[in-house]
Structure 1
């Protein structure tokens, strides 16, 4: 099962990212279903699938299903695509393609799957840790610092939601540094963030803004280290 899944995912990655030039994607967005590159793209995927299935006739139904659904998914995507929803549709498109691959793998080798070995206590603990260190901590920090309202008096605009995503990424890095036993990575990350934040702190005459940034940073790092250490400790027991 795993071997077939790896082959199909590899074929998808090569077809969607390696062998699809940017001008193909741009032309598809501009000309929609009339773009010849849409059909070139699907043909490339078909050839890659033949290699992945090793020309084995028993997979003919899976081959046809993946090729046809790939064309349909891409047609739906490009017909609905605008500059505003481009990012959302990109991720939905990829999820749809992966789900198709999962269905095909289950169709051919579903009887070989032992779900008890996949959804183990350790796997569930890992998911809890990842969800906690990203979204859950973001909500906690928002609630904690919501009592302070800091106005941007510099007039400089920041990317919408950028701070939230930066926080999630830094906590994920801290989590993985601690899990693999490289605490020095946490120190490096803190030093790097301090350097980048130094400009904000020196330009800000408002002491409240400085304190606000420090509280947010320390909360983010503190929660990430706590969750990572709890994960390591509990994982050893399981």
Structure 2
């Protein structure tokens, strides 16, 4: 309970300080002036104050009432946040640096929460959750609907529509869209929300209808229908199998 409260409070403070208390002008200043940007130091200070308040409240309610631990943890958050954000300012601006940046911040917060909670609550609960057959079956399901299913569909379509290529589309876009589509469908199936699967298929049909109508290409229409039906069939089979195996 105390660990969960601490980590969610630290993440909440991080999200507020990083996305709501940091104007875009601060981000621009950091990206252009790097370590000379005064707004970078102000941003780090904002994180320090918000994290200090969270840590102080938690420590004196659930911890060992040690102010030194609060000061050390706050200092670690501020220093690591400065280093991570400074490194990001020199990187190319895109999705990957953004994800790496946020993951690095979250790992620091997680490690601090584990240290401050001074118990094995995180490791015990994580191990117990991971070692449950239901968790492993769900993990298998998500792994199956990604690359293995994509390989199977590609092999099936190559056999049926040999020599056909979908021109005018982004490289690997179809495969990426298919993976995301199957992940969403599997999530709906595991949650027993089959209406969500229908909504997803309906939404895809609406977007695809204009393209297929404009192309007047029967082969393209058949190619899209085959790919969609294969993807849906495989995901339904995997999702229902995982739901069954979880209950066994």
TM-score, length-normalised on structure 1? 0.86
Aligned counterpart in structure 1 of residue 151 of structure 2, from 139, 144, 158: 139
Which sections of structure 1, spanning at least 5 residues, go unmatched?
A: none
- Matched residue of 2:241: which SS? helix
Is 2:211 aligned against 1:200? Answer: yes
- Matched residue of 1:145: which SS? helix
- Matched residue of 1:218: which SS? helix
Question: Using a 3 Å threshold, how does the CA distance of structure 1 residues 149 and 91 change in structure 2: closer, same or farther?
Answer: farther
Root mean square deviation, CA, Å: 2.1
Greater displacement, 219-228 / 159-168: 159-168
Q: Displacement of 1:160 after TM fit? A: 4.4
Is 2:92 aligned against 1:82? Answer: yes
Is 2:77 aligned against 1:66? Answer: yes
Which sections of structure 2, spanning at least 5 residues, go unmatched?
A: 60-66
Aligned counterpart in structure 2 of residue 111 of structure 1, from 105, 120, 144: 120
Please give the residue correspondences for 1:1-238 in structure 2 after superposition, counting only pairs within 5 Å: 1-54=3-56, 56=59, 57=67, 58-79=69-90, 81-83=91-93, 86-109=94-117, 110-113=119-122, 114=124, 115-121=126-132, 122-147=134-159, 148-152=162-166, 156=168, 158-237=169-248
- Matched residue of 1:151: which SS? coil
TM-score, length-normalised on structure 2? 0.83
Q: Displacement of 1:159 after TM fit? A: 4.2
Please say if residues 52 and 70 of structure 2, whose CA atoms lie closer than 8 Å, have aligned partners that are also in contact: no
- Matched residue of 1:19: which SS? coil
CA distance in 1, matches of 2:228, 2:86: 44
Q: Displacement of 1:142 after TM fit? A: 2.9
Q: Displacement of 1:202 after TM fit? A: 1.2
CA distance in 1, matches of 2:163, 2:46: 53
Count of residues in Structure 1 that have an aligned counterpart in Structure 2: 231
CA distance in 2, matches of 1:20, 1:199: 41
